[in-house]
C-alpha cells in the first residue's frame, strides 16, 4: 500500500491561476513533511519543510499546510507562472527514522 499519495498525477492550468497540490499520508507518526520541485532531467529542489508541530509554512508565493489528523498536506502556489511548470513531490519523515518516503509526484504544466 502506498504510504504517501499524490493526486492528481498531472495538472494543467492557465497562467495566473492558483495551484493546489495534494499529498496524503497513511502513517500519522509524521515527524516532518517536505515539499520538493523537480525539473525534467534535474535533481530535487527543497521548497518547504513543515515540522509536525506546525500547521503551515510560507515562502513567497508558496504556502504549505499540514493536517496530521486527516493525513494531508497541501501546497498552494499563488498566481502561477509558466516557470512553475515542473513535478512537485511531497515526502514524509517518520518519527522513528530519518529517511524520506516520497509520493509519486504531481506533474504541473502552466500554460501561458
Partner 1 sequence: DAGVIQSPRHEVTEMGQEVTLRCKPISGHDYLFWYRQTMMRGLELLIYFNNNVPIDDSGMPEDRFSAKMPNASFSTLKIQPSEPRDSAVYFCASSWGGGNYNEQFFGPGTRLTVL
3-class secondary structure, 47: strand
Q: Which one of 11, 13, 44, 62 is in contact with partner 1 (CB under 8 A)?
A: 44
Which helix or strand (DSSP H or E) is residue 72 part of? Answer: strand 72-77
Q: Is 57 in the site for partner 1 (CB under 8 A)?
A: no
- Kindly state the smallest distance separating residue 5's Cβ from partner 1, in Å: 11
6: left (phi over 0), alpha (psi -120 to 50) or beta: beta
Any contact of residue 45 with partner 1 (CB under 8 A)? yes
Q: Contact with partner 1 (CB under 8 A): which of 49, 61, 65, 72?
A: 49
Shortest Å distance, C-beta 72 to partner 1: 19
Decide if residue 88 touches partner 1 (CB under 8 A): no
Q: Look at residue 84 and give its three-state secondary structure.
A: helix
Cell numbers for 38: 523537480
Distances (CA, A) of 70 to 1, 65, 74: 17, 12, 12
Nearer to partner 1, 21 or 80 (CB): 21
Total interface residues for partner 1 by CB under 8 A: 25
Cell of residue 44, nine digits: 530535487
The residues binding partner 1 (CB under 8 A) are 31-32, 34, 36, 41-46, 49, 51, 53, 89, 91, 93, 97-105
Amino acid at each position: 500500500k502506498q504510504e504517501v499519495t499524490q493526486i492528481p498525477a498531472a495538472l494543467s492550468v492557465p497562467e495566473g491561476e492558483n495551484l493546489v497540490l495534494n499529498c496524503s499520508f497513511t502513517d500519522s507518526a509524521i515527524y516532518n513533511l517536505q515539499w520538493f520541485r523537480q525539473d525534467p532531467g534535474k535533481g530535487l529542489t527543497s521548497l518547504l519543510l513543515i515540522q509536525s508541530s506546525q500547521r503551515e509554512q510560507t515562502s513567497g508565493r508558496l504556502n504549505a499546510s499540514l493536517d496530521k489528523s486527516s493525513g494531508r498536506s497541501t501546497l498552494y502556489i499563488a498566481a502561477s507562472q509558466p516557470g512553475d511548470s515542473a513535478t512537485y513531490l511531497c515526502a514524509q519523515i517518520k518519527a522513528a527514522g530519518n529517511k524520506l518516503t516520497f509520493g509519486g509526484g504531481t506533474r504541473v504544466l502552466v500554460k501561458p
